[in-house]
Structure formats: C-alpha cells, structure tokens
Amino acid sequence: MEEMVEVKRSNVSAPSMSLNDLFLKSPYVSHFMNTPLASPVMKALENMQGRYLEEVDLFTKLDPQDDWLPITESRKGNVYYAAFHVLSSGIGFQALLLPFAFISLGWIWGIICLCAVFLWQLYTLWLLIQLHESDSGVRHSRYLKLAMATFGEKLGKLLALFPIMYLSGGTCVTLIMIGGGTMKIFFQLMCGDSCTLKPLTTIECYLVFTGAAILLAQLPNLDSIAWVSFIGTITAISYCFIIWIVSIVQGKVSYISYESHSEANNIFNVWNSLGIIAFAFRGHNLVLEIQGTIRSDATRQPSRFAMWKGVVYAYLVIALCLFPLAIGGYWAYGNLLPSNGGMLSALYKYHKHDTPKFIMIMTSLLVVINSLSSFQIYAMPVFDNLESRYTSMKNRPCPRSLRIVLRVFFGCLAFFISIALPFLPSLAGLIGGIALPITLAYPCFMWIVIKKPKKYSTDWCLNWMLGIVGMILSVLVVIGAIWVIVELGIKIHFFHPE
C-alpha cells in the first residue's frame, strides 16, 4: 500500500466479515451467481479478501475515542511539528533557575550532574518513543494510558495520574505567575518613570495574561497549536540567549561568591539542587501525546522514527540553550542569584540601569509570549482528560460549547490558584522531586515489563539500575526540598501576589 490507513476498532470488525455477508445477500449478486462468469469473479474476490485481511493485521489499532479527543483527533504531525512541540515544552522558565542549582553543587559537580541528567532523560525519552506502539498495534498516545497498560489500571493511575496532572496543571499556574509578573514589568518599562497612567496591579496582569491564554486555548487540538509551539520555540531560544549573553557581557556582579550557603545543611541543598535540574528537563509527560499526532505505518514508517528525529533536533537546541544559561549564569551571579525568578530576576535586579532599555523590553515581551505558548501545550492533557470523561459517558464527541466551557473553567481555576498560592515558584525543587519518577524512573520499569528483556542482560540490568536509582533520587530530592524550605523559609502569603 502506498499510504498507511489507520483502522479504528469498532463494534464491527473487518476480519469478521465474510464474502457471504458482503455480497451473497444482495438479490442482484444472487442472480449473477447463476451466470458462467460467477466462478472466476468469486475466486478473484476471495484472493482480494485474503490480501486485505493480511494488510489489516498490520494496521495500527486505535481507540475509537481518539477521533474525539484534542490530543489525537488530528494526526497530521511530522518531524518538524514534533520538534516544535518538544522545544516549546522543554525550554521555559524552569531553565532560568538552573544556575541556582550550581550554588550547592559547585562548578565540577554542577556540570557533571547537568550532563548526567541530560543524557539520562534523553535515554528515557527514547524508551517512551519506542513503547508508544505496542507489538499488538495499539498506540499509547497518553502517558497515563501507557502506565495503566504496564502496571495495571489501578496501580498505573496511582503512580502516574497525580504527577502528570500536577505537572500539567501546576506548570500552567506557574506560567500565569511568570507571564503575568513579567507583563507587569513590560508595562512599567514601556511606560517609564514619568508615566501618568495608573499602572496595572499584579492581579490585573495575571487576569490579562489568563484571558489571552484562554482565548488561545480555543484552538481545537494538539496538532492545531503547532504554529503556537513554533512561536514559543523562537521566543524561548531568543530570551535564553539574550539573558546569558547580557549577563556575560556585563561581567560578574560586585561581592560575588561561589561558596555554598551552609556547609552543615549542604547535603540537603544538594538534593534540592538535583530537583531543580530534574525540573528543568520536564516534558516527558507530553512526549507520547506529541507522538500521537504523527501518522504511523507499522510496516514502512512507524511514528517512532519521525518522533525520535524530532526529539534529537529539539534537544540539540535545548542543550545549546540550557548549558550556557546554567554555566554563564552561575559565573555572573554566583550566590547572589535570586532564588525566585532566577536569571530573569537577576537581569532586572543587577542590570536594569546599565542595559539598553529596548533589550529589557524585548526580553520581557519574549518571556510573556513564550509563557502563553507553553501554557497551551501543558494545558492540553488536562483538556483531553476532561473531555475523555464526557466521551466515555456519552459515547459521542464533546460539543463545541462544552469544550469552550471546560477550557474557560480550567483557565479560571488556574488563575484562582495563582492568586491564592503566589509562592508556588519557590517550590521548584519540590516539584522536580515529585515529577522526577515520570522523567527518570517509570520509563525504565515500563520497558522491563513490556519488552521483557532477558534476565541479567545488559538491557535488563541498566533499566533496573536506572529505575531504582531514579526512585531513590526522587525521595531524596523531596526530602532535600522540604528541608531547604523549612531551614531557609519561603514567603508564604495567600491571596497576595507580589
């Protein structure tokens, strides 16, 4: 066949239909069967049916609900779309916190840990991409579905549902804070000190940002936001390069130090720093969803080939953004790096008056646009989960009006949480620890359960080791993050965003 056709499973299965069911019940065909041409024609039809059924077995099997849900209702993705989505979800505000992890780890261990986690999560990405299509032909286009297929329905939900929804929903809340807060700075820079207009409050900036995000969220599915991810990719790359280049050009700030804050609590600070690094490479909860937008031919061009190529392209760019940002940021600011906001806050704090105004304005605008773009891809699993509940109960697509209501509801809920809990960005290490198994541990266990490598083989030992170490590291990171929060403290203030 020239092009792959994805066959949806339904109550009527193609292989169960016989020639008698298709042809012989028709009165016209019954009359034709009494003619001399009947025998050779029926023989040809039987041969065609045999070839058809052989090809159907090679087709990808899809859940019939996939045509109704926003992640998989369109499968027009390609290598470039995949790269844009991965970049949009892989580069963002979390990268601006990377230099803060070096304060506890130091130069050598900071670079070693950053390289190790980068390679580790790239390997687990490869595992997930290979597991997207099972040997039976079923496509796991959602991380949660793969977890349930691997560990069982109840255990899979228990292990994966909360971290996935926490990553998606929590990231959207944090993006409102980052985007809204940066929008306030943008307005201040544009207006200037002599402006007579009343400046927007922080809550009003959050509201403007949320309104724009909800409006953009009305795009129907994941495939339709490819251009949004492209814009998000360009803006993220741009502001990453601007921030670290300006920091390097301006040089080290005065009274800089590279010493750890506290030697007595250094081990807990190290664990918290590892959580920050792990959080910087979030996005594994979206890779299967992104791959689900790519068509798949089980015999000629499985989706894993295009998806892996897109991931390789994306992570080459991610490495070029994150490594200079982490190393250059730590060199420029050392221990003086602000814990809340990271490199962006440092840029405004130390270089606001000695950097051209248009660069500050451009950087702020790029951060706002990138936050709006990232909001869309991280909100998509939440939209998909909400709509899947409706389609499961009603066995029909979600009406357009209800889809709008659900997306407006989620946007308003995220806005409320951003106001009620304005200290969430200070919990980057804790969030990284909770999400760490999704990135570093679960894919290894999934590979062992599904692929069943030979016991004590290199493949078997490697994945068991990485999976166990990933789970232990997750516990240590959570403990370290909680200890740092208790020891250093954070400004916990409800309903009072600054």
DSSP 10-42: -SS-GGG--HIIIIITSHHHHHHTTSTTHHHHH
Residue 142 has phi, psi (to 5 degrees) of: -145, 140
Q: What is the tens place of the pLDDT at every residue in 395-444?
A: 888 889 999 999 999 999 999 988 887 776 666 667 767 778 888 899 99
pLDDT reported for residue 136: 73
- Residue 53's CB: how many other CB atoms inside 10 A? 12
Q: Average pLDDT for residues 450-478, to the nearest whole number?
A: 91
Residue 77 has phi, psi (to 5 degrees) of: -70, 165
Give the integer Cα–Cα distance in Å for 347 and 277: 21
How many residues are there in the chain? 498
Highest average pLDDT, of 127-131, 165-169, 301-305, comes from: 127-131
pLDDT reported for residue 428: 61
Residue showing tokens 């800089």:
256
Helix, strand, coil share of the chain (percent; to 5): 75, 0, 25
- Do the beta carbons of residue 139 and residue 292 sit within 8 Å? yes
Q: What is the tens place of the pLDDT at every residue in 175-221?
A: 998 898 889 888 888 877 666 677 778 888 999 999 999 999 998 88
Q: How many CA atoms lie within 13 Å of 398's alpha carbon, on the beta-carbon side?
A: 27
Using CA atoms, how far residue 141 sits from 73, 138, 222, 256, in Å, is 11, 9, 12, 48
Question: Which residues have C-beta within 8 Å of that of residue 223, sequence separation ≥ 6?
Answer: 73, 74, 75, 76, 77, 81, 293
Amino acid at 42: M
Provide the 3-class DSSP secondary structure of residue 447.
helix
- In the predicted structure, residue 368 carries a pLDDT above the cut 80: yes
- Do the beta carbons of residue 275 and residue 433 sit within 8 Å? yes
- Do the beta carbons of residue 444 and residue 463 sit within 8 Å? yes
Provide the 3-class DSSP secondary structure of residue 454.
coil
Cα 313 from chain centroid (whole Å):
16
- Residue 438's CB: how many other CB atoms inside 10 A? 25
Task: Please name the CATH architecture into which domain 74-488 falls.
Answer: Orthogonal Bundle (1.10)
pLDDT classification of 34: cutoffs 50, 70, 90: low
pLDDT classification of 349: cutoffs 50, 70, 90: confident
Amino acid at 230: F
Q: Average pLDDT for residues 248-261, to the nearest whole number?
A: 77
- In the predicted structure, residue 265 carries a pLDDT above the cut 70: no
Q: What is the tens place of the pLDDT at every residue in 38-57?
A: 554 454 444 444 443 333 33
Task: Give the range among 27-41, 160-174, 209-223 with minimum mean pLDDT.
Answer: 27-41
- Do the beta carbons of residue 278 and residue 436 sit within 8 Å? yes
pLDDT reported for residue 130: 92
